[in-house]
Chains A and B, each alone.
Chain A
């Protein structure tokens, strides 16, 4: 009886939070559809907002950032998680600064720096800072994974004659897959949804990303709500799809069976 009551309370609370989280999304979807199950608003928004260009730019930037930061995070996390070398704590502390510092803080000097190098209004102007930011977190994330792997696995590989690279490639990376995929999804989301950095760095419409393109629908005097909503749905869609496709890979018990019970 008591158990059932507690369960009831749990479900009520969860449903409440669920509703709070989903309500705005549902609202956007309803507005986008314009009260009926037709897709004219989407087509209209796609053409009016030049979302095709935005999509291409977002894909190029996000893919590059995700791949680059995954590779770099694995390498730096592996070094910081499994090796001892002079200055390792200091280097890790520097990475941590990247995690805790609010990104808005250095964005203005960053703009001037990148402009000096002629990198503003280019893909690199967004790819480089976004990768740097992601690698800070990614190093932290992958280091935690490599620290959690049993040392004896690495030592067994060393005795078996595997180099550092071979140990990473054949032994640890297959185990790290769920961890790495999670990281890649997070970085994908952050990069895809980024607005501020793209806004500062990209003023040429031909290389603006999807979220920037949404701003078109919001003029100083008018806001085209239904087009804005439709555009927002288009921007959201890839993130939702990626999450749904990859979620079953998250955090599977990859380590089971390695060790004693």
Chain B
């Protein structure tokens, strides 16, 4: 068990910075997810922690030790790779026992630990098989078992589910999460899939271009995105973002583009002259005159994503603003149809039009 901390960690490959001034602390036993698009630096952060890449500046701590110059094997970590990286010529039990063998653990102890871990993960009957005789899901499980059997201080996972089919992925998500809660080993998990991030992490760290954007519990990151990038990256379908001009007049604020106008009374904050309005699909509804809706606004249906229980309807207003509406699955709608919709006041996000930083919820 150990805490993990990146302290102003940076990594350059030649002249490009893969990770810039990255500081983040992971608590003992915590499940932290690093999420971001490709090139965001999440894997680099993980590899610096693993010791697979050398750090260019800053420090990495595991427990109360700086591990910058320690070889991977001295860091008491275990890692699950995206392609699993099972040793092809070894059986499952040999794969699992390899790390212990390298640590000169007595043979009987290796056998006992391998058997116990295999039992935990339900792969007891696979121990004598070679990796090529296993299905994708079984290989994934063996990779997990190989990491777990060494009783590491920190568990590192690099997109371990990306090679599984959707159903197996959803199931394995839950299992990994449960397993981590049982063994209580500090875990750093890298993914580009925001659904994985939201469902698995105790906290989620959103990254972009080598820079940490926001870190917090999944609910917080979803409800209070720190900037436009986090707002658009977390949540599916993405938050609708539209640039508008902002006018303060007396105690009210008007957001405007051409004839589109959204007025908020009793608004006393200073805002820049251009802002970005962010609206989650569930905060954009068909117009029903309810008191908590502002509107109505008119728009034309551009595309429809039917999921059965619910549908996401993308509409575009005559002024070119785009919103995604969450509607009931029983509601029938056609492309090019005209709709009236409203936005839930109190649940809308306002970002600085220049910097993209979150301003206030309106």
| Bound together | yes
Q: Given A161-B103, A260-B163, A261-B136, do A152 and B85 touch, yes or no (CB 8 Å)? A: yes
- Is A254 a contact partner of B89 (Cβ separation < 8 A)? yes
**Which 3 pairs from chain A and chain B are nearest by CB?**
A257-B132, A160-B99, A161-B73
Question: Which single residue of chain B is at the shortest CB-CB distance from A256?
Answer: B132
Could you tell me the distance between the alpha carbons of A188 and B36 in the complex, rounded to whole angstroms? 53
Chain B residues positioned under 8 Å from A83 (CB to CB): none
- Is A150 a contact partner of B73 (Cβ separation < 8 A)? no
Other-chain contact of A158, B52, B88, B136, B139 (Cβ < 8 Å): B52
Q: Given A155-B52, A158-B52, A158-B73, do A260 and B84 touch, yes or no (CB 8 Å)? A: yes
Q: CB within 8 Å of A: which of B37-86?
A: 50, 52, 71-73, 77-79, 81-86
Interface string of B157-185 (1 = CB under 8 A from A): 00000010000000000000000000000
- Is B83 a contact partner of A150 (Cβ separation < 8 A)? yes
Segment at the interface with B among A98-106, A168-176, A194-202, A232-240:
A168-176
Other-chain contact of A159, B78, B82, B87, B130 (Cβ < 8 Å): B78
* 6 cross-chain CB contacts under 8 A: A150-B83, A156-B81, A162-B98, A254-B88, A258-B132, A261-B136
Could you tell me the distance between the alpha carbons of A257 and B139 in the complex, rounded to whole angstroms? 9
Could you tell me the distance between the alpha carbons of A174 and B89 in the complex, rounded to whole angstroms? 7
Chain A residues positioned under 8 Å from B139 (CB to CB): 260
Chain B residues positioned under 8 Å from A160 (CB to CB): 73, 98-99, 102, 146, 150
Chain B residues positioned under 8 Å from A254 (CB to CB): 88-89
Could you tell me the distance between the alpha carbons of A171 and B99 in the complex, rounded to whole angstroms? 12
- Is A153 a contact partner of B132 (Cβ separation < 8 A)? no
In this assembly, does A166 line the interface, its C-beta being within 8 Å of a C-beta of chain B?
yes
Chain A residues positioned under 8 Å from B98 (CB to CB): 157, 160, 162, 170
Chain B residues positioned under 8 Å from A175 (CB to CB): 88-89
Other-chain contact of B86, A155, A159, A166, A258 (Cβ < 8 Å): A258
- A interface vs B, CB < 8 Å? 150, 152-153, 155-162, 166, 170-171, 174-175, 254-261
In this assembly, does B195 line the interface, its C-beta being within 8 Å of a C-beta of chain A?
no
Interface residues on B, range: 20 to 34
Other-chain contact of A155, B85, B132, B146 (Cβ < 8 Å): B85
- Is B87 a contact partner of A171 (Cβ separation < 8 A)? yes
**Least distance between A55 CB and chain B CB atoms (Å):** 36
Could you tell me the distance between the alpha carbons of A52 and B156 in the complex, rounded to whole angstroms? 63
In this assembly, does B134 line the interface, its C-beta being within 8 Å of a C-beta of chain A?
yes
Could you tell me the distance between the alpha carbons of A170 and B81 in the complex, rounded to whole angstroms? 19
- Is B102 a contact partner of A162 (Cβ separation < 8 A)? yes
Q: Given A161-B73, A170-B98, do A156 and B103 touch, yes or no (CB 8 Å)? A: no
Question: Which single residue of chain A is at the shortest CB-CB distance from B131?
Answer: A257
Question: Which single residue of chain A is at the shortest CB-CB distance from B134?
Answer: A257
In this assembly, does B258 line the interface, its C-beta being within 8 Å of a C-beta of chain A?
no
Chain A residues positioned under 8 Å from B270 (CB to CB): none
Q: CB within 8 Å of A: which of B133-157?
A: 133-134, 136, 139, 146, 150
Chain A residues positioned under 8 Å from B81 (CB to CB): 152, 155-156
Chain B residues positioned under 8 Å from A158 (CB to CB): 52, 71-73
Chain A residues positioned under 8 Å from B88 (CB to CB): 175, 254-258
Could you tell me the distance between the alpha carbons of A257 and B88 in the complex, rounded to whole angstroms? 6
- Is A159 a contact partner of B84 (Cβ separation < 8 A)? no
- Is B73 a contact partner of A258 (Cβ separation < 8 A)? no
- Is A159 a contact partner of B131 (Cβ separation < 8 A)? no
Chain A residues positioned under 8 Å from B77 (CB to CB): 159
Could you tell me the distance between the alpha carbons of A99 and B99 in the complex, rounded to whole angstroms? 39
- Is A159 a contact partner of B89 (Cβ separation < 8 A)? no
**Least distance between B11 CB and chain A CB atoms (Å):** 15
Could you tell me the distance between the alpha carbons of A47 and B267 in the complex, rounded to whole angstroms? 112
Among B71, B88, B98, B102, find the residue whose CB has the most chain A CB atoms closer than 10 A.
Answer: B88
**Least distance between B138 CB and chain A CB atoms (Å):** 11
Question: Which single residue of chain A is at the shortest CB-CB distance from B87?
Answer: A171
- Is A257 a contact partner of B136 (Cβ separation < 8 A)? no
Besides A155-B72, A155-B81, A156-B81, 19 other A-B contacts (C-beta < 8 A): A152-B81, A152-B82, A153-B87, A155-B79, A155-B85, A156-B79, A158-B52, A158-B72, A159-B50, A159-B73, A160-B73, A160-B146, A160-B150, A162-B98, A166-B102, A171-B87, A256-B88, A258-B85, A259-B84
